[in-house]
Structures are given as C-alpha cells and as structure tokens.
Amino acid sequence: MVIVSLILNALTGVLLPSLMAEYETSGIFRPWSDPLMSLMFVEPFVLGVILAWVWNKTKPCFQVCKCHRPWILFGLGYWVLTIPGMIMSYSSFPLSLIMIASWSFTILLQALVSAFLLSKMNK
C-alpha cells in the first residue's frame, strides 16, 4: 500500500500540479514537522494487518461467485465502504472535488493491489 501511494503521489504531482498546490496552501493539513504526521506512515501497516485479518475471515464468502476473482470483489467492497467517508470529507472540509476524487482513486488502487497480494499470500 505504501508503494502504491508513493507511485500515485508522484504521478499526481506531475499530472495535476494544481492539486499539489492545494495541499501546500489549503492550511487544513498539519505541517510535516508535526510529530503526529508520523502516523501517516503507520496507517498503511495497521490497515494491512486489519485487511489481512478480514480477508482471512471472509475469504469463503467471496469465493461463492465464480464470475469474478475473489480478490477483486474484496477490493471493491473495501473501496465502497470508504465512499461515505469521502462524501463526509467533501462536505465538511474546504477541499476540492478533484482532491477527494484523487483520494478515492488512490484508495481503489490500494484496495485492489492489497486484495490481490492477500489472495496470493493466503491461499
């Protein structure tokens, strides 16, 4: 998840420089010098452990449907669960729709990659 985030952040900076400017000038985010920002690096590992546990418990439920690969359904299911949070972020904070959409797209790719890796590691 960390690798996917790093790649997408680099691509976002190149493809959408106005979005990167919004991160720097919005004033809503903590500065990187704040010690609490170190939690940003812990979150993918905690989420990875949680998703591994959930995958292990729910894997049989996703193998019922033979029309899709189970990891795709798991990744899409996780992504769908994040949509209400994106709506709340957009409605509560002064953030642009493009920023929220980029977060949602990043989460979708992270969810699919992590679900794929979990399915390969935990057969």
pLDDT at 90: 95
* C-alpha of 58 from chain center: 20
* The amino acid at 6: L
Does position 123 have pLDDT exceeding 70, yes or no?
no
Q: On the CB side of 87, how many CA atoms lie within 13 Å of its CA?
A: 6
- Global pTM? 0.78
Question: How many Å apart are CA 78 and CA 100, to the nearest integer?
Answer: 17
Statement: residue 67 has pLDDT above 70:
no
Residues in the chain: 123
Checking if the pLDDT of 60 tops 90, the result is: no
Tens of pLDDT along 7-39?
Answer: 877 887 788 888 888 877 777 888 889 999 889
